[in-house]
């Protein structure tokens, strides 16, 4: 089979190499196109364009396959906790007992914020969206750690990675405490990552807080299935910002902003708002499926559809199975979960969704579990960010370690006015 692609255009007959990945994905390497022809390619939304090669995550959208460093997401969600998966994504291998012990210990001892950082929260309005707080405070970490911002110094990168992984849950929990007007709870070094987050979120000085092991198990699963997803919008943002040699804190802050978008990570918040609206409207899911099919009203079924998955999102399957188990164990009867299941059934039997291969994605059921845990809707995308952080870090690190790293600077096709004479204001 030819390993080149032939291109004939404007009198040129050119050949471009076809590169192949370890899972037989193929791409035409057009890096020589403009030099040889003066032409560029254009691909709105990069639907057909690869930005890089990567050894971190493989997904097959047609078959609903997702693997981190070669391990199936189903195996990792079942057998690991979030810190093990974070280690795997960032360093490329599942940790040994001693490696994960050292890693956990280091993360545990970086969970506190500088006391001056806690003052930031006094300046935010009480109803500030926690994603705005998260991106602001993460960006500001660079002002407290000015000695470890060099992306080309492995030691500075390592300590920044540990500080970010350790502090993001603290920053997130403090934004929740702030919005509820309850005192900030310091992280506790005798607790594991997810337990620590839950105690910072929900403990109050007036009584002792006992972390529910069911919620710890659910949270580890949710953070694992959100941990990476190759070149999605927010990860690509982290890579683009990092390609300019911006420090890791600035790059992650930019990724948080991208994730906030309702078409991306913000969808989990939008799903629960949509399910709540359907519930208030009498639970008529057919009405909302019809609305989603009508292009005139711009309504979309949030939590449905995906740029890559044209089959079930394997993460949605894992989360949905856990919803069933958790709600049964908690003896909780969440009307929104019942509506979500009915909505899924109706949509998956509807020609419009079948033809466009629109399936529930990772955001469709995650909010049901967050609600069962008492996490408020506005914090849902923050939970996505805590999960996605190791993936963002892994991609940022892989990019900086690549010998072919270049600043990201796409081209364009100009469609504005041709050159014209300047007209002084008196004559306009």
- The residues of the shown chain that bind ligand SDX, judged by CB under 6 A, are 45, 229, 232, 263-265, 267, 292, 300-308, 356, 358, 361-363
Nearer to ligand SDX, 69 or 108 (CB): 69
For ligand SDX, which is the closer residue by CB, 137 or 270? 270
Give the nearest distance from C-beta 346 to ligand SDX in angstroms.
13
Contacts of 315 (CB under 8 A, 6+ apart): 66, 73, 225, 226, 361, 362
Burial class (CB in 10 A: 0-12, 13-18, 19+), 207: exposed
Nearer to ligand SDX, 15 or 294 (CB): 294
Closest CB to ligand SDX among residues 141, 274: 274
- Round to whole Å and give the CA distance between 94 and 300: 39
User: Could you tell me how far CA 216 lies from the centroid of its own chain?
Assistant: 20
Least distance in angstroms from the C-beta of 147 to ligand SDX: 32
Shortest distance, position 351 Cβ to ligand SDX, whole Å: 12
Please, what is the minimum distance in Å from the beta carbon of residue 304 to ligand SDX?
4
Cα 139 from Cα 406, distance rounded (Å): 23
CB of 241 to ligand SDX, least distance (A): 16
127 as an active site residue: the answer is no
Among 306, 334, 395, 400, which one carries the catalytic annotation?
Answer: 306
Distance set, CA 239 to CA 93, 125, 420 (Å): 22, 31, 38
For 294, phi then psi, to 5°, come to -90, 105
Nearer to ligand SDX, 17 or 50 (CB): 50
Provide the b/e sequence for 313-333 (b: ≥16 CB within 10 Å).
Answer: bbbbbbbbebbeebbeeeeee
**Is position 284 annotated as part of the catalytic site?**
no
Residue whose structure tokens are 């370890």: 22
Residue closer to ligand SDX, measured from CB, 198 or 224? 224
Q: Nearest approach, Cβ of 329 to ligand SDX (angstroms)? A: 27
CB 404 within 8 A of CB 244: no
Q: Which residue is nearest to ligand SDX (CB)?
A: 305
Q: Which of 156, 162, 171, 168 is nearest to 245 (CA)?
A: 156
DSSP H or E stretch at residue 156: helix 154-180
Q: Which is nearer to ligand SDX, 95 or 305 (CB)?
A: 305
User: Closer CB to ligand SDX, residue 33 or residue 267?
Assistant: 267
Annotated catalytic residue within 81, 228, 313, 363: 363
| Beta carbons within 8 Å of 53's beta carbon, 6+ residues apart | 19, 21
To ligand SDX, the closest distance from the beta carbon of 309 in angstroms equals 7
Alpha helices in 281-403 (DSSP H): 285-293, 314-329, 335-348, 351-355, 363-372, 380-401
C-alpha distances in Å from residue 87, one per residue of 22, 96, 104, 188, 426: 22, 10, 10, 21, 65
| CA distance linking residue 168 with residue 191, whole number of Å | 16
Measured CA to CA, the distance from residue 381 to residue 226 in angstroms comes to: 11
Tokens of 359: 């399936």
Kindly state the smallest distance separating residue 366's Cβ from ligand SDX, in Å.
10
Catalytic residues: 306, 363
């Amino acid at each position: 089979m030819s390993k080149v692609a032939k291109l004939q255009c404007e009198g040129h007959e050119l050949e471009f190499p076809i590169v192949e990945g370890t899972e037989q994905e193929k791409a035409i390497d057009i890096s020589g196109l403009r030099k040889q022809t003066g032409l560029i390619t254009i691909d709105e939304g990069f639907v057909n364009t690869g930005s890089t090669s990567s050894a971190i995550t493989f997904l097959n959208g047609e078959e609903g396959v997702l693997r981190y460093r070669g391990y199936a997401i189903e195996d990792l969600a079942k057998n690991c906790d979030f810190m093990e998966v974070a280690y795997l994504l960032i360093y490329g291998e599942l940790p040994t007992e001693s490696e994960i012990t050292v890693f956990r210990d280091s993360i545990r001892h970086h969970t506190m914020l500088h006391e001056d950082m806690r003052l930031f929260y006094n300046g935010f309005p009480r109803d500030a969206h926690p994603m705005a707080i998260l991106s602001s405070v993460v960006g500001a970490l660079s002002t407290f750690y000015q000695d470890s911002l060099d992306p080309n110094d492995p030691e500075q990168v390592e300590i920044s990675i540990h500080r970010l992984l350790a502090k993001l849950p603290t920053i997130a929990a403090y934004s929740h405490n702030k919005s509820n007007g309850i005192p900030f709870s310091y992280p506790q070094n005798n607790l594991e990552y997810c337990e620590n987050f839950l105690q910072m979120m929900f403990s109050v000085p007036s009584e002792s807080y006992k972390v529910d092991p069911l919620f710890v198990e659910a949270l580890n699963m949710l953070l694992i299935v959100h941990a990476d997803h190759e070149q999605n919008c927010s990860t690509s943002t982290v890579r683009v910002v990092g390609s300019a040699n911006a420090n890791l804190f600035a790059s992650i802050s930019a990724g948080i902003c991208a994730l906030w978008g309702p078409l991306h990570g913000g969808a989990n918040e939008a799903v629960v708002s949509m399910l709540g609206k359907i519930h208030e409207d009498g639970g008529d899911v057919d009405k909302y499926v019809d609305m989603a099919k009508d292009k005139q009203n711009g309504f979309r079924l949030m939590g449905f559809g995906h740029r890559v998955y044209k089959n079930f999102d394997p993460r949605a399957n894992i989360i949905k199975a856990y919803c069933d188990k958790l709600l049964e164990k908690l003896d909780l009867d969440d009307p929104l979960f019942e509506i979500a299941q009915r909505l899924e059934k109706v949509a998956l039997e509807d020609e419009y969704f079948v033809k466009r291969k629109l399936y529930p994605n990772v955001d469709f059921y995650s909010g049901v579990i967050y609600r069962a845990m008492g996490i408020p809707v506005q914090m849902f995308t923050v939970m996505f960010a805590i999960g996605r952080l190791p993936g963002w870090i892994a991609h940022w690190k892989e990019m900086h370690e690549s010998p072919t790293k270049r600043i990201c600077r796409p081209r364009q096709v100009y469609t504005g006015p041709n050159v014209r004479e300047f007209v002084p204001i008196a004559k306009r």
